[in-house]
Structure 1
């Protein structure tokens, strides 16, 4: 299996797991769910973010190669290298931030704590 294929498999698993955690966090917040914060809403937003990220990585091979190079690194090493890469490539940082923005907006709108996210290096 190609490293990029494994990366996308892991990336998809993280996105799906994140959605599940977000749903759990949103579901325990109160009896009446906040409009737009149902399990379906969370899944739809995270699916859109995942699809946008997939398209971006396939259309930006240099970024895809960098992200693929993080496989096997510890979380702290991957985070440090990613932060350095994004600092050196502000346009990429801004584009990835824009892709992730719907998830950030959802978290803020639905009062989902930051700790509910599985992994975030941006």
Structure 2
């Protein structure tokens, strides 16, 4: 089944938005990034590093969704639902599709690694 161009744009925008939100959360959690003390500012923990990793995760997520139309359709179908319902449906979907869960967890692992290396609190796991 082919999705409309509008649905495709929404999926890409959603993937990019998720990366941007994750990036914003990490950037907000790293106030020491501007500190002069190297002990407080680990290497490769700059805003540029964050942007690069987040854009890579977003691009990989987009490619995954385009190459897995059923997963793309599921996430696209969540648009407009209340946040708690989205969370519940995603959790159920991931429990029923452990391969998708493993794939998406692997795709976002570089962002988790960056957060862990740079001292940010760990991101919540995909349900």
TM-score range, shorter chain: 0.7 to 0.9
Residue 52 (structure 2) pairs with residue 48 (structure 1): no
Distance in structure 2 (CA, Å) of the matches to 1:121 and 1:76: 15
Residue 31 (structure 2) pairs with residue 27 (structure 1): yes
Greater relative contact order (CA < 8 Å, ≥ 6 in sequence): 1
Write the mapping of 1:1-80 to structure 2, written as runs, cut at 5 A. Answer: 2-28=6-32, 31=35, 32=37, 33-80=41-88
Q: 1:92 to 1:23 in 2, by over 3 A?
A: same
User: Greater CA radius of gyration, 1 or 2?
Assistant: 2
Q: 1:40 to 1:112 in 2, by over 3 A?
A: same
Residue 100 (structure 2) pairs with residue 85 (structure 1): no
Deviates more, 1:14-23 or 1:83-92: 14-23
- Post-superposition, which runs of at least 4 consecutive aligned residues in structure 1 deviate over 2 A? 27-30, 119-122
- Give the count of matched residue pairs: 119
Match of 2:114 among 84, 106, 113: 106
Long gaps (5+) in structure 1: none
Contact 2:66 2:72 in 1 (8 A): yes
Contact 1:49 1:103 in 2 (8 A): yes
Deviates more, 1:21-30 or 1:79-88: 21-30
Over aligned residues, Cα RMSD in angstroms? 2.2
**TM-score using structure 2 length:** 0.81
